[in-house]
Amino acid sequence: MNDEDFKRRYGPVALVTGASSGIGDAFAEALAARGLDVVMVARRRDRLEALAARLTTTYGVQARALQVDLGQPDAAQQMLDAVGELDVGLVVSNAGFGLKGEHAANDPQAMAEMLMVNCNVPMQLAHGFIPRLRARGRGGIILTSSVEGLIGCPYSTAYSATKALVVALGEGLWAELQPEGIDLLTLCPGATESEAAAKQGIDITKLQNVMPAAEVARLTLDNIQNGPTFISSDHYRASFEALLSMPRRDALRAMAAGMKPR
Ligand SMILES: NC(=O)c1ccc[n+]([C@@H]2O[C@H](COP(=O)([O-])OP(=O)(O)OC[C@H]3O[C@@H](n4cnc5c(N)ncnc54)[C@H](OP(=O)(O)O)[C@@H]3O)[C@@H](O)[C@H]2O)c1
């Protein structure tokens, strides 16, 4: 699809959560490059405002910063209220975070927040925006899950469970929305350059097969009509296909051996 067709179908405005860094920042830029106005959501207002200024200057689009704490139960409603009458044709529910290590050692409060940000927000955002997309008769929703949503991932168990919810949400919505001309794609990234690794105490320079966030965003937008699920990395697609073809217990034991903190 060329940029003009993309903008006609998914523009004029896209909403992107988690746009203050990593994959969300890259989504916002890739969408602005295709000529869409963007509403960018996160907590760090300074980051959003700097990005908005850059996107406006570089691409001549309208870029708005919207500070929302997605851990709040009314976060989706705050976003719906803030966009008001803007004609949002694409919703990118991307914000999220992970917790690594033994499940019993996780902070219960952090797990509760993770459920809100990773699960409640995409579920409520889709619920709120579907009637608006339906009224337009065209548009799309992108949900960022993870390859860890495709199988229970030991030593990242709670995060993996939140991302499995996103995969299931995306599959169901894909089948509901496809006949109505609304595209749904669930992105499952493998390791990607962002702030996520450092936030989880992982040295990203020690990881292999790490993709640039800009490439993940570009490939995802290029594949928006190839739902329900898209694994952005060839390496992770091949390794997860192999894993998922194994007897489940063997796959989980192999993963546990690889993931166990040393
Ligand atoms: N990087 C990877 O290897 C990888 C792999 C698989 C899946 N993913 C998924 O990709 C998505 C994007 O992550 P990333 O890798 O780009 O990580 P990142 O650089 O840490 O970005 C996370 C984004 O989510 C926002 N966010 C987190 N908690 C929030 C809250 N309570 N309220 C508002 N915004 C919040 C952050 O903004 P503020 O801190 O400014 O609020 C930030 O913009 C996540 O869903 C993640 O699970 C990443």
- For ligand 1, say whether the CB of 95 is within 6 Å of any of its atoms: yes
Mean pLDDT score, 221-232 = 98
**114's tokens:** 């993770």
Beta carbon of 210 within 6 Å of any ligand 1 atom: no
Which one of 59, 155, 159, 236 is the catalytic residue? 159
Please give the distance, rounded to the nearest whole angstrom, from the Cα atom of residue 95 to the centre of ligand 1. Answer: 4
Can you state the angle between helices 157-177 and 121-136, rounded to 10 degrees?
A: 20
Specify the pLDDT at position 184. Answer: 98
Give the pLDDT mean for 67-82: 98
Residue 257 pLDDT exceeds 90: yes
Per DSSP, the chain holds a count of helices (H) and strands (E) of 11, 7
- Per residue in 100-110, pLDDT (tens digit) is 999 999 999 99
* pLDDT confidence bin for 201, thresholds 50/70/90: confident
This prediction's pTM: 0.98
Tens of pLDDT, residues 93-132: 999 999 999 999 999 999 999 999 999 999 999 999 999 9
246 C-alpha to ligand 1 centroid (Å): 30
Q: Read off the pLDDT of residues 22-40 as tens digits, 9 standing for 90 and up.
A: 999 999 999 999 999 999 9
What is the per-residue pLDDT for 207?
86
Q: Is 17 helix (H, G, I), strand (E, B) or coil?
A: strand
Contact 103, 151 (CB under 8 A): no
Token pair recorded at residue 52: 């908005």
Please tell me the distance from the alpha carbon of residue 57 to that of residue 40, in angstroms, as a whole number.
Answer: 16
CB 79 within 8 A of CB 15: yes
Residues contacting residue 156 through CB under 8 Å, at least 6 positions apart: 98, 99, 100, 148, 259
Q: How far apart are CA 91 and CA 164, in angstroms?
A: 20
The predicted structure's pLDDT at residue 31? 98
User: Per-residue pLDDT tens for 141-197?
Assistant: 999 999 999 999 999 999 999 999 999 999 999 999 999 999 999 999 999 999 998
Cα–Cα dist 77/91, whole Å: 14
For the CA of 24, the nearest atom of ligand 1: 16
Specify the residue with its C-alpha closest to ligand 1, atom 42: 18
Is the pLDDT at 262 greater than 80? The verdict is no
Across 214-232, average pLDDT: 98
Q: Which residue has the higher pLDDT, 49 or 261?
A: 49
Q: Residue 164: which domain range?
A: 3-259
Say yes or no to pLDDT of 221 above 90: yes
User: Ligand 1, closest atom to CA 96?
Assistant: 45
Percent of the chain predicted with pLDDT > 90:
94
**Residue 246 sits in a domain of what CATH number?**
3.40.50.720
* pLDDT at res. 260: 86
Please indicate whether residue 59 is annotated as part of the active site.
no
Distances (CA, A) of 169 to 127, 150, 164, 207, 215: 11, 13, 9, 29, 25
Measured in angstroms, how far is the CA atom of residue 143 from the centroid of ligand 1? 12
Instruction: Give the total number of structural domains in the chain.
Output: 1
Tell me the average pLDDT across 212-218: 98
pLDDT-derived band at 213, boundaries 50, 70, 90: very high
**What's the gap in Å between 231 CA and the centre of ligand 1?**
17
Residue 202's pLDDT is: 87
Residue 121 confidence (pLDDT) = 98
Q: Is 26 in the pocket of ligand 1 (CB under 6 A)?
A: no
Name the average pLDDT for the chain: 97
